[in-house]
């Protein structure tokens, strides 16, 4: 029983990693007043760029850099539409998702001729798991040894980075001057502008951070969690990250807990494949695949209460003239 729980928690950490990156990305963006439906597109675009570059150069780190560049580029397009031209945030985000979904498949077919996939990544082209010191020796130790060897040890560097980013984000948002200005821009941009601070500059910086984090999420999917790019491999994780962001009410630690919850539901769904339920029989694969999304909707609808986002979110800022 305990071993099964450890395996479930281990799977939860792996599945939650892209959700954590993407949800924190959305936190920076929406705290600055920018609605970012385009998280899904940035994750997918960075996953393709990372896998393609890793396949060509044979280095996961080069792939990661290309993935981040692709994601930041998409974030700047979103910023150009929403900040510079004061366009509709939802329309811009949906456009990015739609374009990236088609562009990644088209480019992969043109460059690699593998039906919308990239070549399988091996060796240094992937982020490999890290084994902690004495993990093998402690595996036989009850409880503590199993937690150390099978839960904490054996993940790749991006998994650990995702969890490190939560306290880093908390510190940036609540303990730095940039974080104070970021929150102020999301609440009352006119007051920030009156203080002589550029609202647009703060929002663009928030979107750059958002792009970097989405780049990490996408690169994780294609060069760490999987061994290459697959069509639509983001599988709605950007939307689930937005749900986690709302569930966590735009605060880093509750957002982390929401991502872990959604990841746990996904891990449970995987474990239920092939399980025979008395009176029902074997659970259909389709029901298993849709379970995490249905539970996400139910949790959002019934348990978070009224979630109030930043006051200026989604509103185009027009500078007042003297």
- Report helix, strand or coil for 109: helix
Q: Give residue-wise pLDDT tens across range 204-228.
A: 999 999 999 999 999 999 999 888 8
Instruction: Provide the residue range defining the domain that includes 135.
Output: 2-238
Question: 27 in a domain, yes or no?
Answer: yes
What angle do the packed helices 177-187 and 157-175 form, to 10 degrees? 70
Do the domain assignments include residue 91? yes
Residue 9 has pLDDT above 90, yes or no: no
Q: How many domains does the chain have?
A: 1
pLDDT digits (tens, 9 = 90+) for 148-197: 888 888 889 999 999 999 999 999 999 999 999 999 998 888 888 888 88
Answer whether residue 54 is part of any domain: yes
> Which helix or strand (DSSP H or E) is residue 281 part of?
strand 281-282
User: What are the backbone dihedrals phi and psi of residue 88, each rounded to the nearest 5 degrees, phi first?
Assistant: -70, 125
Is 129 within a domain? yes
8 inside domain: yes
Please check whether residue 43 lies inside any domain of the structure.
yes
- Round to whole Å and give the CA distance between 18 and 214: 8
């Amino acid at each position: 029983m305990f071993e099964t729980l450890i395996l479930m928690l281990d799977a939860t950490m792996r599945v939650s990693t892209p959700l954590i990156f993407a949800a924190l990305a959305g936190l920076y963006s929406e705290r600055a007043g920018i609605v970012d439906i385009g998280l899904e597109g940035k994750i997918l675009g960075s996953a393709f760029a990372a896998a393609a570059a890793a396949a060509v150069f044979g280095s996961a780190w080069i792939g990661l850099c290309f993935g981040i560049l692709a994601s930041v580029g998409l974030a700047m397009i979103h910023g150009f539409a929403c900040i510079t031209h004061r366009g509709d945030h939802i329309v811009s985000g949906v456009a990015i998702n739609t374009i990236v979904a088609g562009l990644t498949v088209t480019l992969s077919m043109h460059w690699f001729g593998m039906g919308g996939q990239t070549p399988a990544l091996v060796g240094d082209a992937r982020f490999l798991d890290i084994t902690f010191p004495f993990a093998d020796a402690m595996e036989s130790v009850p409880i503590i040894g199993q937690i150390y060897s099978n839960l904490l040890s054996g993940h790749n560097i991006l998994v650990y980075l995702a969890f490190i980013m939560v306290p880093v984000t908390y510190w940036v948002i609540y303990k730095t001057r940039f974080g104070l200005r970021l929150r102020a821009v999301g609440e009352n941009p006119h007051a920030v502008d009156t203080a002589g601070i550029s609202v647009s500059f703060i929002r663009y910086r928030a979107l750059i951070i958002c792009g970097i984090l989405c780049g990490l999420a996408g690169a994780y999917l294609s060069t760490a969690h999987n061994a290459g790019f697959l069509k639509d491999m983001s599988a709605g994780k950007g939307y689930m990250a937005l749900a986690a962001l709302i569930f966590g009410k735009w605060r880093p630690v509750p957002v982390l807990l929401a991502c872990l919850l959604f990841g746990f539901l996904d891990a449970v769904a995987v474990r239920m494949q092939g399980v025979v339920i008395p009176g029902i029989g074997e659970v259909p694969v389709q029901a298993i695949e849709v379970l995490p999304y249905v539970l996400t909707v139910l949790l959002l609808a019934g348990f978070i209460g009224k979630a109030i986002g930043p006051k200026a979110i989604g509103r185009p800022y027009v500078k007042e003239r003297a």
